Amino acid sequence: MRKVGNKMNLGQMLDETCHRYPEQVAFVYEDRRLTYADFNAKVNALGNALKSRGVEKGDKIAIVLPNCPEFVISYFAAQKIGAVAVTINTASTAHELQYLLNNSDSKVLVTTAECAGRYESILPQVPLCRNLIVTDEQENPPQLSFAFLLFWSLIEESSSSLDIPELSDNDPAVMIYTAGLTGKPLGAVLTHRNLVTQSALLGNLCHVRDTDRGISVIPLFHSFGAVANMLGAIRVGASLVLLDSFNVDEILQVICREQITFLSGVPRLFLGMLLHDEADRYDIRTLKFCITGGSTMPPQYIPEFNKKFHTTLVEGYGLTESSPVCTLCRPDGPQKPGSIGTAIPGAEIRIVSEDGKECPQGEVGELIVRGDNVMKGYYKNEAATREAIIDGWLHSGDLAFQDEEGFFFLTGRKKRMIITSGFNVYAREVEMVLEEHPAVIATRVESKPNLLRGEIVKAFIVKDPNAQIDRRQILRHCRTYLSSYKVPREVEFVESLQEQ
């Protein structure tokens, strides 16, 4: 694959790593080990299979998969044929999936048989997405009542020699949906330049090399999981263990068995490790450093974690629209628990007041960022893009200040957003679903602090006095339309919202 000028795209990044480390183990998943050479061959074969079915440069390929080799193969097959990978949360309900497939203009859906059942229920409402690829093993095909293709059969039947289209580093590579202020998710379009520059962070700032081994426990459909684990590891030729369950015992066992050297996760993971009663049974001294992000880590626990596990836990900050990393505390640099670190190379960060003027050190304002990490924009929504990116600066909606040494500290948010276990939830989206229930007169959704999750979703509801309804019925209604992490953890019935 040719470079465009001195730039690189994601497909080329994979090719270069596979050329350098063909026999290196790229991924470990359950009892399977996939070398970089095998991985690249399967990516090329799937790319050919997609092209033979009419997928062209710029077309959208929706991927609804857990952390597994099929996710990474699909992701890079899209990159190599110039398509756009639309990575979707596996918890999405049929209601959410219908909107995401239609809004993204996806022509292909790659998913499991279980998720395909959700697709089946919305089939008449998604006219453009007519290529369904199911990843379940070939010898045990799923029982579905409509036409589908088997992932591994496509790969076995296709050539591993792939012709690559001409690509610009400004071409869209990935689209990730993020919560929108209006209640409808927005598709953040990330370019090859965005993601290639992000892929270099793990090696350049954390000194990860081909001899290192990591764990991917954050979902790869999440921007943090994709960059901090998958892209960063592939860039340097490191090995990655793919996990699809949040189980502290299993994670500790994997660290011991696979001699894991780095780990990226949300605060809930590291708090779970720290508070785990039997953590002392595991020898995890191979763990050089850990990165926490997605939500704020209670700073008092960071030194305690480092002491207990003989490692260095650092905090970073980002958002989907910035691909996602904006700041990071360097593992080999000064540590300030409570700080999200300093700006990454290639990103400028300012703290500004309401009138757009730069705040002096120590003064709280909105954090804004510009650089190679800032998204191309929101898909098919120029108004939302103009609101988010002003004169090249991405407005985060997060409040922060900068100290005299250039370290940033978050203090709150301007927008009504809840971050629970690293996932963003806009209160308005949950309120809109609640308001559709006939017994709900009015509702307000707020965040509530929670040690392990950072925050949880709490709903205050004014109900029809003549209606017989309880918390379980409200939650059942929410689960029909909302991913599980968006469903309120607490529901409180009130006489008036003015009481809150």
Per-residue model confidence (pLDDT) at position 141: 64
Same domain, residue pair 30 and 168: yes
Please report the beta strands in 68-151, taking only residues with DSSP state E, as ranges in sequence order.
84-87, 106-111, 131-134, 149-150
Instruction: Decide if pLDDT at 7 tops 80.
Output: no
- pLDDT of 481 reads 93
Same domain, 235 and 313: yes
Q: Cα(364)–Cα(242) distance, rounded to whole angstroms?
A: 39
Using one digit for the tens of pLDDT, what is the confidence trace for 33-59? Answer: 999 999 999 999 999 999 999 999 999
Name the pLDDT band for 334 (thresholds 50, 70, 90): very high
For residue 191, pLDDT beyond 50: yes
Domain end residue (candidates: 132, 159, 190): 190
418, 449 Cβ separation under 8 angstroms: no
Question: Do residue 143 and residue 217 come from a single domain?
Answer: no
Instruction: Assess whether 48 and 138 both reside in one domain.
Output: yes
Q: How far apart are CA 487 and CA 433, in angstroms?
A: 10
Q: Which two tokens stand for residue 348?
A: 């400028």
Per-residue pLDDT reduced to its tens digit, 406-426: 999 999 888 888 999 889 898
Is residue 408 within 8 Å of 341, Cβ to Cβ? Answer: yes
What pLDDT does 362 receive? 94
Q: What is the pLDDT of residue 412?
A: 87
Is residue 210 situated within a structural domain?
A: yes
* CATH code of 273's domain: 3.40.50.12780
Q: Does residue 239 share a domain with residue 178?
A: no
Check which CATH number belongs to the domain holding 491 and give it: 3.30.300.30
CA-CA distance, 189 to 46, in Å (whole number)? 23
Task: Round to whole Å and give the CA distance between 293 and 319.
Answer: 10
Kindly state whether residue 127 falls inside one of the protein's structural domains.
Answer: yes
| Beta carbons of 79 and 73 less than 8 angstroms apart | no
* Residue reference for tokens 């592939």: 234
Judge whether 387 lies within some domain: no
Same domain, 104 and 118: yes
* Residue 446 belongs to some domain of the structure: yes
What is the CB-side half-sphere exposure of residue 184 using CA atoms within 13 A?
A: 13
Instruction: State CA 3 to chain mean position distance.
Output: 27
Rounded to the nearest integer, the mean pLDDT of the chain is 93
Provide the domain limits for residue 155: 10-190
What is the model's pLDDT at position 97? 96
The reply to whether 226 and 155 lie within a common domain is no
Q: Which residues contact 139 (CB under 8 A, 6 or more apart)?
A: none
Same domain, 50 and 170: yes
- Quick check: helix, strand or coil at residue 400? strand
Q: What is the C-alpha separation between 131 and 65, in angstroms, rounded? A: 16
What tokens does 236 get? 């340097």
Do 20 and 169 fall within a single domain? yes
* Within-domain flag for 381: no
- Interacting residues of 10 by C-beta distance below 8 A, sequence separation 6+: 76, 79, 173, 192, 195, 196, 199, 231
Say whether pLDDT at 500 is over 80. Answer: no
Does one domain contain both 331 and 428? no
| Domain termination residue (choose one: 158, 190, 222) | 190
**129 and 40, same structural domain?**
yes
Domain count, the chain: 3
Contact 165, 173 (CB under 8 A): no
Q: CATH no. for residue 39?
A: 3.40.50.980
d(CA 380, CA 455) in angstroms, rounded, equals: 31
pLDDT of residue 118: 86
* Residue 93 maps to a domain: yes
Distance CA(425)–CA(432), nearest Å, equals: 13
Q: Is residue 246 part of a domain?
A: yes
* Domain finish residue from 383, 413, 443: 413
User: Are 360 and 217 contained in the same domain?
Assistant: yes
Q: Has residue 4 been placed in a domain?
A: no
In DSSP terms, which residues pair with 448 in a beta bridge? 456
Per-residue pLDDT band for 179 (boundaries 50, 70, 90) equals: confident
